[in-house]
Amino acid sequence: MTLIEKPAETNIYLNDLIARRYSPRAFDPNKSIEHDKLLSILEAARWAASSSNLQPWRFIVAPKENETEFNKILSVIKEGNIPWAKNAGVLMIGVINKYRRPDVLNRHASHDLGAAIGQMVLQALEHDIYVRQMGGFFPDKAREVYNIPEEFEAYTAIAFGYKTSDLSHLTDAHREREMAQRERQPMESFVFNGDWEQTADFLK
């Protein structure tokens, strides 16, 4: 059986990693992520841009070999994501420091966490490791389980893993979505100039 590939369908030039990236659920339950590759992925986050170089991201990281920590992250993930997330090689929770200074919110903290995760995703893919992010987790439960202080906020859960061609461990609905084509809005719908929602002149 061959691994599913879902390259971006476009006639416009794209960097190979960006074109290849997609978010699978079919992770190989028998494959761990090597220590050096995990470090490489985290190093990619470290070198992301951030507002005032505040580096507001924090990551709680659980490789599957550490069963206690892995199950701890699974315990804060919503039920719908568990059937596939449990097969990941590494689970993480992305957390932001909400504050720029003790009395000033950092409006860009979640933006910068996203940028750091974006870099992790592409660095992972260079190692053939795929990523699926999850809004479907319980931030309040994460706060409780990990003693996350008030000034920080758990923002997203992230699954990293090697793909498998064996889709038998997915639910029927997830199996169908795993094979479905990827869809995107046309550029005209989100690239503006002149006025709000006016398609940019260079696209016409």
CB 57 within 8 A of CB 49: no
Query: How many CB atoms are closer than 10 A to CB 116?
Result: 25
Which pairing describes strands 104-105 and 99-101: parallel, antiparallel, or unpaired? antiparallel
User: Residue 199 CB, nearest distance to ligand FMN (Å)?
Assistant: 23
| Binding-site ranges for ligand FMN (CB under 6 A) | 22-23, 81, 132-136, 156, 182
Amino acid occupying residue 175: R
Residue 22 vs 192, nearer CB to ligand FMN: 22
Residue 62 vs 157, nearer CB to ligand FMN: 157
C-alpha to C-alpha distance for 41 and 129, rounded to whole angstroms: 10
User: Residue 23 CB, nearest distance to ligand FMN (Å)?
Assistant: 3
CB closest to ligand FMN, residue no = 136
Residue 80 vs 144, nearer CB to ligand FMN: 80
Task: Report, in angstroms and rounded to the nearest whole number, the Rg of the chain calculated over CA atoms.
Answer: 18
Mark out the alpha helices in 147-195 (DSSP H runs): 172-179
Residue 70 vs 155, nearer CB to ligand FMN: 155
User: Residue 89 CB, nearest distance to ligand FMN (Å)?
Assistant: 17
User: Residue 126 CB, nearest distance to ligand FMN (Å)?
Assistant: 17
How many residues in the chain? 204
